[in-house]
C-alpha cells in the first residue's frame, strides 16, 4: 500500500471516533504524523482504540474548558503482526459554533468571501 493511501485512511479515524462519542462538537485533524516502518507489501490491518481513561480525560476537558486537543496513536499491521506504519494523530474538539470557519486562514478567507 502506498504511503499516501495510508495517510488518507489514517487521517479521519480519531476525528470520526471523537465525533461519535462527543456529539455536538466540531472535530478535525490538527496534526498527522506517520512513521513508515516496513513496506506495506500485503493487506494491512488498521488497529485503533480509544480507551476509557482517554475518553474520560477528553470529557473532563470539554466540561472544564469547552475544548480538547487529544493525541492518538495507532498502527497499520501486516498479516504477520509486524507494524508497517505507526500513526500519531492530534485532533481538535471544539464547540460547534467555534469551528474551523471562525478562525485561522480559512476563517479569514471565509470573511472575505462573505463580504
pLDDT along the chain (115 residues), means of 10: 91 96 95 96 95 96 96 98 97 80 48 49
Q: Which three cell numbers stand for residue 14?
A: 480519531
Structure pTM? 0.80
Domain boundaries defined on the chain = 3-114
Q: How much is the CA Rg of the chain, to the nearest whole Å?
A: 16
> In this structure, which topology does domain 3-114 adopt according to CATH?
Thiol Ester Dehydrase; Chain A (3.10.129)
Angle formed at CA 52 by CA 50 and CA 54, multiple of 5 degrees: 65
Amino acid at each position: 500500500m502506498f504511503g499516501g493511501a495510508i495517510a488518507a485512511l489514517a487521517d479521519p479515524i480519531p476525528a470520526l471516533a471523537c465525533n461519535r462519542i462527543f456529539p455536538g462538537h466540531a472535530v478535525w485533524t490538527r496534526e498527522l504524523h506517520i512513521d513508515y516502518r516496513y513496506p506495506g507489501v500485503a493487506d494491512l490491518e488498521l488497529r485503533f482504540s480509544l480507551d476509557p481513561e482517554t475518553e474520560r480525560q477528553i470529557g473532563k476537558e470539554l466540561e472544564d474548558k469547552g475544548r480538547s486537543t487529544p493525541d492518538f496513536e495507532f498502527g497499520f499491521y501486516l498479516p504477520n503482526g509486524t507494524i508497517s506504519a505507526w500513526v500519531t494523530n492530534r485532533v481538535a474538539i471544539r464547540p460547534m459554533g467555534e469551528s474551523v470557519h471562525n478562525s485561522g486562514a480559512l476563517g479569514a478567507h471565509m470573511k472575505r468571501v462573505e463580504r
